Amino acid sequence: MQEERLLSVGIDIGTSTTQCVFSALTLTNTASSFSVPRVSITRKEVIWRAPVRLTPLADADTIDAQALEAMIRRDYKGAGITPADIRLGAVIITGETARKKNARAVTQALSGMAGDFVVATAGPSLESILAGKGSGAAQMSKTGGKPVLNLDIGGGTANLALFVHGEPAGDGCLDIGGRLIRFEGDDETVLSFTQAAALISKDAGVPLTRGMRLNPAQAKAIARRMAEVLEEAAGFSPRTALHEALTVGHSLPLPCEAELFTFSGGVADCVYGGCDDALSFHDFGRYLGQAIAGSMFFTRGRVLRPDETGHATVIGAGAYSVTVSGSTICCQATPFPLPSLPAGKVLLNSAEHLEGLEAAIGEQYRMYEGECAICFEGIHSPSFDFIESAAERIARAMAPFPLKVLILREDMAKALGQALMRRWGRSTPFLCIDGIALDYGDTVDIGMPLSEGRVIPVIVKTLAFAREAGR
């Protein structure tokens, strides 16, 4: 078997803290010598973890970009790695920090520090899934055969992801986190609090004001209400108006059929009883963690500790966000890399869809002003007639547009690509890959070919920057 080792970086710029983790990924051709190559990621190893540091802010609405860049450069130096060494990875801004005024500009600036191919993105759905994969909850659901709900609770948000047989089956996000209330020094004097914290505290009967000193009973009442909203999200009790008010994007679909529950994120250590360093952040995290530890997750559910807690999202970003293309590829003079291509999804999973195929492709190109990847489901083991009919229509529809990128889920890229090549000629740049599942609203980063051109890395970005600053 042929193997290739690649370095990956994950950088998570969160509400409370920023983390940087370097991983080694092993690509292996698992096919026999006489078969079509089938390359997959067979091993993921964390090789260096940077210290967790507070995310630098210039003011309440702005990330201190210079301080952040300097901090990450120190992490690279500490790991003994240069940006040129990195082949894959992700820079993500998560939680409340994703809503800062300069969040998008910061990710764009940092992406240049991570090699030629790195995704700079954020968004509650992607964050939930990355955290669930990085924590080990996804793998737990696959090996154990039971649905697992992972709750990744950071400084500003709680991201929930349900996994069934290793695959995401639902996600949601709530404005609940340890950094919603910040304290002045080591006592319980309120330095600042978010709008979400104001809603929660009012609902709990403890209206917050800056400078007030919370007594233990008041702090526990607020924390208990936060934990109750999480219980509502998981289906332990009916959802209230407060749950609706705290929802970011969309709620976790009900019924939630999770049989196991895991916690990750900065608050997770307090959930599992390890709050030794929580005081150093001068926030509400320890109270929230203790309230969850006494909640229905533990009294009515079965809670397990995942492999990763505090580093779950950043490990997921660096080691799990990449998907490699399928075993069949047709590539001709493609100008790699191809960053941030919207997924222009077109229905094509039966012969019935051939009739309106040209019009559907044209509609996607018009929607994205000619800059998109045309994405199909495709069909399993297509006939020669189907390939030829589809190629004829695709070739006519895509001919006027310079960017010709096709992404299919089913294993048919080689046959379809060769049929298109006969129609477009060998001088027309185009890319046809398979093995990638996309949905409406997704965007993709397509990297440089790996493993002697046999596979192409693709990072799928979902709901990037779903909420703008101030909303």
pLDDT one-digit tens code per residue, 274-321: 666 555 578 999 999 999 999 999 999 999 999 888 777 776 666 555
**What confidence tier does 31 reach under pLDDT thresholds 50, 70, 90?**
low
Tell me, yes or no, whether 302 and 175 share the same domain. Answer: yes
Residue 465 domain flag:
no
Give the Cβ contact number of residue 435 at 10 Å: 22
Under a CB-based contact definition with an 8 Å cutoff, are residues 22 and 81 in contact? yes
Tell me, yes or no, whether 379 and 250 share the same domain. Answer: no
Do strands 329-332 and 430-433 pair parallel, antiparallel, or not at all (unpaired)?
antiparallel
Q: Which amino acid is at 431?
A: L
pLDDT one-digit tens code per residue, 99-149: 777 777 777 677 666 555 555 555 677 778 888 888 999 999 999 999 999
Nearest residue to 302 (alpha-carbon basis) of 268, 260, 255: 260
How many angstroms separate the CA atoms of 277 and 31, rounded?
48
Tell the residue number behind the tokens 């000193």, with chain if given: 213
Nearest residue to 88 (alpha-carbon basis) of 10, 2, 29: 10
- Percentage of residues in the chain having pLDDT higher than 90: 47
Q: Which residue, 65, 93, 122, sits at the end of a domain? A: 122
In the beta sheet, which residues pair with residue 9?
22, 89
- Burial bucket for residue 192 (CB in 10 Å: 0-12, 13-18, 19+): middle
How many angstroms separate the CA atoms of 204 and 448, rounded?
53
Q: Please report, for the domain that includes residue 185, its CATH number.
A: 3.30.420.40
The pLDDT of residue 337 is above 80 = yes
Give the Cβ contact number of residue 302 at 10 Å: 11
Q: What is the residue range of 283's domain?
A: 137-306
Q: Which range has the top average pLDDT, 23-32, 264-273, 423-432?
A: 423-432
Tell me, yes or no, whether 96 and 170 share the same domain. Answer: no
Under a CB-based contact definition with an 8 Å cutoff, are residues 446 and 341 in contact? yes
Handedness of CA 46, 122, 409, 365 (dihedral sign): negative
Tell the residue number behind the tokens 């929802």, with chain if given: 247
Q: Which residue, 249, 276, 306, sits at the end of a domain? A: 306
pTM of the model: 0.71
Tell me, yes or no, whether 46 and 169 share the same domain. Answer: no
Q: Domain tally for the chain?
A: 3
Under a CB-based contact definition with an 8 Å cutoff, are residues 410 and 434 in contact? yes
Q: Which range has the top average pLDDT, 219-223, 431-435, 446-450?
A: 219-223
Tell me, yes or no, whether 153 and 70 share the same domain. Answer: no
Under a CB-based contact definition with an 8 Å cutoff, are residues 20 and 464 in contact? no
Tell the residue number behind the tokens 């800056």, with chain if given: 210
The pLDDT of residue 469 is above 60 = no
At residue 54, the pLDDT reads 83
Residue 248 domain flag:
yes
Tell me, yes or no, whether 151 and 293 share the same domain. Answer: yes
- Burial bucket for residue 208 (CB in 10 Å: 0-12, 13-18, 19+): buried
How many angstroms separate the CA atoms of 334 and 224, rounded?
55
How many angstroms separate the CA atoms of 45 and 117, rounded?
19
Residue 283 domain flag:
yes
Q: Which amino acid is at 213?
A: R
| Contact partners, residue 268, CB within 8 Å, separation at least 6 | 152, 153, 289, 309, 310, 312
How many angstroms separate the CA atoms of 161 and 150, rounded?
5
Q: Which amino acid is at 170?
A: G
Nearest residue to 321 (alpha-carbon basis) of 148, 445, 181: 445
The pLDDT of residue 254 is above 80 = yes
Residue 455 domain flag:
no
Query: In the chain, what's the furthest Cα-to-Cα distance?
Result: 76
- DSSP 8-state assignment for residue 71: H
Q: For 444, left (φ over 0), alpha (ψ -120 to 50), or beta?
A: beta
Under a CB-based contact definition with an 8 Å cutoff, are residues 126 and 462 in contact? yes
Higher pLDDT, 112 or 370: 370
Angle, to 10 degrees, between the axis of helix 195-203 and the axis of helix 216-234?
Answer: 100
Tell me, yes or no, whether 163 and 91 share the same domain. Answer: no
The vertex-308 CA angle with 306 and 312, nearest 5°, equals: 115
Tell me, yes or no, whether 173 and 228 share the same domain. Answer: yes
Tell me, yes or no, whether 347 and 431 share the same domain. Answer: yes
Phi, psi (degrees; rounded to nearest 5) at 310: -65, -30
pLDDT one-digit tens code per residue, 424-443: 999 999 999 998 888 766 77
Q: Which residue, 306, 334, 367, sits at the end of a domain? A: 306
Tell me, yes or no, whether 299 and 349 share the same domain. Answer: no
The pLDDT of residue 43 is above 70 = yes
Which contiguous run of DSSP H or E holds residue 330?
Answer: strand 329-332
Tell me, yes or no, whether 154 and 298 share the same domain. Answer: yes
Tell me, yes or no, whether 111 and 144 share the same domain. Answer: no
Residue 440 domain flag:
no
Tell the residue number behind the tokens 């909420």, with chain if given: 467
